[in-house]
Amino acid sequence: MRWVSVVLGVKVLLAQMGYVEEGEASYYAPSFHGRRTASGEKYDRWGMTAAHRTLPFDTYVRVTNKLTGKAVIVRINDRGPHKPGRIIDLSEKAAQELGILSQGVGPVRLEVTQVPAAPSPPSASTPFYRIDGKPHRPQAYGVQIGAFSEETNARSLARNAGNEVNQVVFIWRTVANGRSLYRVVIGDFATRRQAERLRDRLRGEGWQAFVVHLPV
């Protein structure tokens, strides 16, 4: 069954190569610079990135200004927009190049140009595994920094966290209401107090972090 879900996930990603959407684009306020995005990356107002409600992290999208024909390529690394009627939140740099900076919003067309690589299937023998799919044997406590219904998004967050945090990072696959949920966990501790110290440090760095007890 696990192989079936992986194959279906790949088909969904491939289908998104033809994904097209039209609506309004907005952009991040300057005050968001440096804050954590849903993928774990820090928002860079000068980067070419964007937030979308459903497209997987690391999807590349061509955004075309329907009034001028100008277009930019952005990478999805966050979730949003949260206002009805808007379909994408652009970085300040992308909005500037698209020519909507002064208006604040603008009518656009989205076209997916590149989807993230399909993940390696994890081991079916354990609910804990690293981003390369190899099984992991944790201790009793860890620090969760995110949970996703899409495994691709969980792996993106795990990879970004692994590039910043000097701790083991792994995915904990669970089932909630009959559907898989992929939790991203940092750290591997025998005691809760050890995990709490890491949680406090991660929160100070902008992560949404809390201690979890692992069923080992």
Around Cβ 91, how many Cβ atoms within 10 Å?
26
**Domains of the chain, earliest start first:** 2-114 (2.40.40.10), 128-213 (3.30.70.1070)
pTM reported for the whole predicted model: 0.82
Per-residue pLDDT of the chain (216 residues; tens, 9 = 90+): 333 343 344 444 444 667 899 999 999 999 999 999 999 999 999 999 999 999 999 999 999 999 999 999 999 999 999 888 899 999 999 999 999 999 899 999 999 999 987 776 766 667 999 988 889 999 999 999 999 999 999 999 999 999 999 899 999 999 888 889 999 999 999 999 999 999 999 999 999 999 999 997
